[in-house]
A and B are shown apart, each in its own frame.
Chain A
Amino acid sequence: AAGVIQSPRHLIKEKRETATLKCYPIPRHDTVYWYQQGPGQDPQFLISFYEKMQSDKGSIPDRFSAQQFSDYHSELNMSSLELGDSALYFCASSLGRGRNYGYTFGSGTRLTVV
């Protein structure tokens, strides 16, 4: 079965650079979620989109922005990168906003800021 696809798998950036992470949800899923997981930490909710509109907002820094496109894929744009942004970034998708509980995570993008 198709899963949530994230790209790239690994990304190395320097401080103050920008990064774009992409997420392709499971086909027919219309809701996308972004989480940040620091080393040894639990995943922290950043933001979610339903039907291309922002749905919920968590602890996403102002330096980050995200959007969901017409084909339901999503991109997380990160600017003015800081060392503390080094983390695993997970995308998850589900069908229906709040209607079908339990969503599927992708394998993540490991961002390293040097």
Chain B
Amino acid sequence: GENVEQHPSTLSVQEGDSAVIKCTYSDSASNYFPWYKQELGKGPQLIIDIRSNVGEKKDQRIAVTLNKTAKHFSLHITETQPEDSAVYFCAASLTGNQFYFGTGTSLTVIP
């Protein structure tokens, strides 16, 4: 099955700085890569996703890049704000049904 690795496990940045979270996947057939933000006591919320036919996608302060050859994808958050503090999960999927999640990154934005 698919194996998704995520780094770093914890990340602290100053408010206004950028944050980068990286994931690698093992199954070259995976073709959909969502990113989820999970706040304490809440379910994961989709923040951005990318499909394998696209190399980069942006949505305001959030961007995701995908390198299919190297089988890795990254989340970039610019101009971080305290409300960005949460746990972020990457995931990979082949069918769009079952997602394989990374182990999560706890992001802390220091005011």
Contact = CB atoms under 8 A, between A and B. Distances in A.
Are A and B interaction partners? yes
Interface of A: 4, 31, 33, 40-45, 48, 50, 55-56, 58, 90, 92, 94, 97-108
Interface residues of B, number: 23
B34 to A, nearest CB: 6
Contacts, number: 63
Contacts of A41: 103-104
Contacts of B95: 56, 98
Contacts of A31: 97
Interface string B79-109: 0000000000100010111111111100000
Contacts of A99: 96
Interface stretch (B14-22, B43-51, B53-61, B62-70): B43-51
A101 B98 contact: no
Question: Nearest 3 A-B pairs (CB), nearest first?
Answer: A105-B43, A42-B101, A98-B96
B98 A48 contact: yes
A33 B97 CA distance: 8
Given A43-B89, A101-B34, A108 B43 contact: yes
A61 B111 CA distance: 44
Contacts of A44: 101
Contacts of B103: 41-42
A66 to B, nearest CB: 14
- Give the dominant DSSP class at A's interface: loop
Contacts of B41: 107-108
Contact of A90 (B32, B44, B46, B51): B44
Contact of A102 (B42, B46, B89, B102): B46
Nearest to B43: A105
A98 B104 CA distance: 24
Contact of B89 (A33, A42, A55, A106): A42
Contacts of B104: 40-42
